[in-house]
């Protein structure tokens, strides 16, 4: 059997949670492969809304295994809050929520380092979610990190104190930064103790066994390709591999088992945090996208920056990920627009190009726009592709041609059932 992949093609928040929740019944296992509680994946069904940060988005579907993979960084406090949310919703996760032994732990001091580093950058800050993601991945690659499996070893406290000491030393670089560690440390230790109840697995062996026995696996990405550590808008990125390549290193599977790669994009574009955003709208249309799309961060509540869809940017991330099909979300947000624009090409002074540059900020960039006629109809109750207004179909067909990739899913609302499938 193969591992299908679902990941975001923009700067995150494309609607990954909703689509994973929808697709989950087609799979036996959902595996998150990277990121941590910087993610906020929203699920809506039965009049209820849930936001997941660490737990994979298949957890509400009975009988499906959900794995927090080796490439994920775990904050036990956030994870325990999510477990409480699941318990409150009567979700029985006991045998279905699995935690990889190799996943790295976010310590309270990682959070402090994240905050102190961001504050020290002033106007040049990354706009981090301040969840300790960067410092934790730094300790991972620096070979200092603590992993879930370490907690079950007798020398864990010793290792923890050693790393904490190192962090406290580092915090001295920021003399203006004050903090209170005691309370969060206590809560962290308590949460770690609660995590003993979870099933801890060796992710690579577990998945090999599952695939051998014919189980179907879907890998769930967090963030988006433009936030990838290697190929995103560096340094305004997150600290993990958000691309298809990250599935292999984050779940412990070989590239040869990757099957379908489903790329998700909104029908427009958003970004939360700092960094380049070529199609950003600082005008009334941007405001309208934010208002009709409810574009406020699921993790931090920050207003998201909004802009038109960017074809060169998408062609780039489709290429990086080997996307085989697309899910187009939030098409209903465009119901309110007379005209819908799309960036068709860039011009850096030498004519049209669809190449994403080394660094957008160092270039004089003109975005070449294409205009589509709006449809002025509410799409949310349409259930078939043929039932969509012809202007919507013509917009989608035109995107398919520009992106050279099939759009197989069209999402027309936040709820689970607001999805049009195109066979
Ligand atoms: P994720 O991080 O990729 O899972 O996305 P988020 O949950 O951070 O943000 C997506 C937001 O859009 C959430 O509030 C979803 O409920 C909402 N959403 C998802 N799909 C649609 C859609 O097709 N239409 C509308 N209007 N909202 C959607
Ligand atoms: P989901 O999975 C949108 C952004 C932050 C910041 C940069 C680095 O919900 O799509 P970090 O905390 O990782 O050090 O922040 O990345 N960012 C996200 N933006 N959606 C996310 O996740 C994000 N996770 C991180 O805003 O600009
Ligand atoms: Mg999100």
φ/ψ of 312, rounded to 5, equals -60, -40
**Other C-beta atoms within 10 Å of 208: how many?**
15
Q: Where in the chain is the domain with CATH 3.90.170.10?
A: 265-421
Residues 6+ apart with CB under 8 A from 395: 334, 340, 372, 375
Beta strands in 203-324 (DSSP E): 217-220, 258-266, 269-271, 305-307, 309-310
> Considering only CA atoms, which residue is closest to atom 16 of ligand 1?
414
| Least distant ligand from the CA of 302 | 2
Residue 423 has pLDDT above 90, yes or no: no
pTM of the predicted protein model: 0.97
Residues 198 and 179: their CA atoms lie apart, in Å, by: 31
In the reported structure, the alpha carbon of residue 390 is separated from the centroid of ligand 3 by a whole-number distance in angstroms of 31
CB of 39 within 8 A of CB of 222? yes
pLDDT for the residue numbered 174:
95
Residue 185 has pLDDT above 80, yes or no: yes
In the reported structure, the alpha carbon of residue 128 is separated from the centroid of ligand 2 by a whole-number distance in angstroms of 7
Q: pLDDT, tens digit, for every residue of 98-127? A: 999 999 999 999 999 999 999 999 999 999
Q: Where in the chain is the domain with CATH 1.10.300.10?
A: 104-194
Question: What percentage of the chain reaches a pLDDT higher than 90?
Answer: 96
CB of 120 within 8 A of CB of 174? yes
Q: Looking at residues 147-175, what average pLDDT do you find?
A: 97
Give domain 104-194's CATH number out of 3.40.50.300, 1.25.40.10, 1.10.300.10, 3.20.20.370: 1.10.300.10
Q: What is the CATH number of domain 3-102+198-262?
A: 3.40.440.10
92 is catalytic: no
In the reported structure, the alpha carbon of residue 140 is separated from the centroid of ligand 2 by a whole-number distance in angstroms of 19
For ligand 1, is residue 304 a contact (CB within 6 Å)? no
For ligand 2, is residue 232 a contact (CB within 6 Å)? no
Q: Where in the chain is the domain with CATH 3.40.440.10?
A: 3-102+198-262
> Considering only CA atoms, which residue is closest to atom 6 of ligand 2?
128
| Residue 299 binned pLDDT confidence (cut-offs 50, 70, 90) | confident
Q: Looking at residues 396-405, what average pLDDT do you find?
A: 98
For ligand 2, is residue 131 a contact (CB within 6 Å)? yes
> Considering only CA atoms, which residue is closest to atom 25 of ligand 2?
38
HSE of 98, CA atoms in CB hemisphere, 13 A: 24
Top mutation candidate among 6, 15, 32, 224 for ligand 1, by most atoms within 8 Å of CB: 15
Residues 6+ apart with CB under 8 A from 89: 48, 50, 60
In the reported structure, the alpha carbon of residue 55 is separated from the centroid of ligand 2 by a whole-number distance in angstroms of 16
Q: Quick one: which H or E segment has residue 139?
A: helix 133-141
Please identify which of the residues 21, 28, 41, 104 carries the catalytic annotation. 41
CB of 51 within 8 A of CB of 40? yes
Sheet holding 258-266, edge to edge: 199-201, 97-100, 65-68, 29-32, 217-220, 3-8, 258-266, 325-329, 407-411, 419-421
Q: Where are the alpha helices (DSSP H) in 307-347?
A: 311-321
Query: Domain 265-421 adopts which CATH fold?
Result: Adenylosuccinate Synthetase; Chain A, domain 3 (3.90.170)
| Least distant ligand from the CA of 129 | 2
**Other C-beta atoms within 10 Å of 195: how many?**
17
> Considering only CA atoms, which residue is closest to atom 19 of ligand 2?
12
Q: Taking all residues of the chain, what is their mean pLDDT, rounded to a whole number?
A: 97
For ligand 2, is residue 270 a contact (CB within 6 Å)? no
Beta strands in 241-337 (DSSP E): 258-266, 269-271, 305-307, 309-310, 325-329
Beta strands in 46-177 (DSSP E): 48-52, 65-68, 73-74, 97-100, 104-105
What does DSSP say about strands 305-307 and 73-74: parallel, antiparallel, or unpaired? Answer: unpaired
pLDDT for the residue numbered 297:
84
13 is catalytic: yes
195's tokens = 């995590």
Q: pLDDT, tens digit, for every residue of 369-378? A: 999 999 999 9
Please identify which of the residues 13, 21, 75, 310 carries the catalytic annotation. 13
Least confident range of 147-156, 333-342, 359-368, 409-418: 359-368
């Amino acid at each position: 059997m193969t591992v299908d992949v679902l990941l975001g093609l923009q700067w995150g928040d494309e609607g990954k949670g909703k689509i994973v929740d929808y697709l989950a019944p087609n799979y036996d296992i959902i595996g998150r492969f990277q990121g941590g509680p910087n993610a906020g994946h929203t699920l809506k069904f039965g009049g209820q809304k849930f936001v997941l940060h660490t737990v994979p988005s298949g957890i509400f579907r009975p009988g499906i295994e959900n794995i927090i993979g080796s490439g994920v960084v775990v904050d036990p406090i956030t994870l325990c809050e999510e477990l409480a949310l699941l318990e409150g919703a009567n979700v029985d996760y006991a045998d279905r929520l699995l935690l990889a032994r190799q996943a790295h732990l976010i310590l309270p001091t990682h959070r402090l380092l994240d905050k102190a580093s961001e504050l020290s950058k002033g106007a040049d800050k990354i706009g981090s979610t301040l969840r300790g993601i960067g410092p934790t991945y730094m300790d991972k690659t620096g070979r200092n990190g603590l992993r879930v499996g370490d907690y079950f070893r007798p020398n864990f406290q010793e290792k923890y104190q050693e790393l904490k000491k190192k962090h406290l030393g580092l915090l001295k670089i920021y003399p203006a930064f004050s903090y209170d560690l005691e309370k969060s440390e206590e809560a962290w230790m308590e949460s770690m103790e609660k995590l003993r109840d979870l099933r801890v697995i060796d992710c690579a062996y577990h998945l090999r066994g599952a695939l051998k026995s014919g189980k179907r696996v879907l890998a769930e990405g967090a963030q988006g390709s433009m936030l990838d550590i290697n190929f995103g808008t560096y340094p305004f990125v997150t600290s993990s591999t958000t691309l298809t390549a990250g599935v292999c290193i984050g779940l412990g599977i070989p590239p040869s088992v990757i099957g379908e790669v489903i790329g998700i994009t909104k029908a427009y574009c958003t970004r939360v945090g700092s960094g380049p955003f070529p199609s950003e709208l600082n005008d009334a249309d941007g405001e309208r996208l934010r208002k009709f799309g409810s574009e406020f961060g699921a993790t931090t509540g920050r207003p998201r920056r909004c802009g038109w869809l960017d074809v060169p940017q998408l062609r780039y991330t489709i290429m990086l990920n080997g996307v085989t099909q697309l899910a187009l979300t939030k098409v209903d947000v465009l119901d309110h627009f007379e005209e819908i624009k799309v960036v068709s090409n860039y011009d850096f002074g030498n004519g049209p190009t669809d190449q994403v540059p080394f660094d957008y900020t160092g270039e004089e960039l003109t975005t070449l726009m294409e205009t589509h006629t709006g449809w002025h109809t509410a799409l949310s109750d349409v259930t078939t592709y043929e039932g969509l207004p012809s202007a919507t179909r013509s917009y989608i067909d035109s995107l398919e041609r520009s992106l050279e990739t099939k759009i197989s899913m069209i999402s027309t609302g936040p709820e689970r059932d607001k999805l049009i499938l195109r066979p």
